[in-house]
C-alpha cells in the first residue's frame, strides 16, 4: 500500500508534504511546464513510499489519500501516481518554495472544482 496525491494538488503544489517525507518519495516532473501526461502537481512514487502517512496531514489542500481510500472521483490519479515508476528519471524531489497557506474558502473552492464533496 502507498499514498496517492490527487489532482487537488494540481497547480497548488504546496510542498509541505515534501518537507516531511522521510524517504523522498514525493516528486515533481522535471519539466513542469510541458510534461506530457503529467500535470503541474506532486506525485508519490509507490515503490519508494514506506506508507508512514506523515505527508497526509501536512497537505493543506487535503489532496493526499491512502491508495485504498482514494475517492472514486480521483480513481485515475492512483494509476497516474503508479505510472511514474516507469518514468522515474523524469521526476525529481522538488525544492520547497515558500507559498501562502490556503484559506478554508480556497480549499473548499478547489474541492468543488474537482467535484469532491469530502
Nearest to 62 by CA among 17, 23, 99: 17
Instruction: Tell me what pLDDT residue 34 has.
Output: 63
Confirm whether 118 is domain-assigned.
Answer: no
pLDDT (0 to 100) of residue 9: 94
Whether 93 maps to a domain, the answer reads yes
User: Could you tell me which residues come within 8 angstroms of residue 91 by beta carbon, excluding any fewer than 6 positions away?
Assistant: 27, 28, 29, 30, 43, 45, 84
Total number of domains in the chain: 1
User: The CATH number of the domain where 93 resides is what?
Assistant: 3.30.70.20
pTM over 0.75: yes
How far apart CA 17 and CA 54 sit, in angstroms, is 8
Domain presence at residue 40: yes
Mean pLDDT of the chain: 90
Q: What is the pLDDT of residue 108?
A: 95
Per residue in 15-42, pLDDT (tens digit) is: 899 999 999 999 999 886 666 778 889 9
Query: Which residue range forms the structural domain that includes residue 86?
Result: 3-113
Residue 54: count of CB within 10 angstroms of its CB: 13
Amino acid at each position: 500500500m502507498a499514498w496517492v496525491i490527487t489532482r487537488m494538488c494540481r497547480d497548488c503544489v504546496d510542498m509541505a508534504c515534501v518537507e516531511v517525507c522521510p524517504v523522498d518519495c514525493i516528486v515533481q516532473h522535471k519539466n513542469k511546464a510541458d510534461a506530457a501526461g503529467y500535470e503541474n502537481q506532486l506525485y508519490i512514487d509507490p515503490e519508494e513510499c514506506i506508507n508512514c502517512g506523515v505527508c497526509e496531514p501536512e497537505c493543506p489542500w487535503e489532496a493526499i489519500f491512502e491508495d485504498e481510500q482514494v475517492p472514486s472521483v480521483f480513481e485515475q490519479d492512483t494509476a497516474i501516481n503508479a505510472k511514474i515508476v516507469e518514468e522515474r528519471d523524469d521526476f525529481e524531489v522538488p525544492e520547497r518554495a515558500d507559498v501562502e497557506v490556503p484559506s478554508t474558502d480556497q480549499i473548499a473552492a478547489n474541492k468543488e472544482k474537482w467535484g469532491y464533496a469530502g
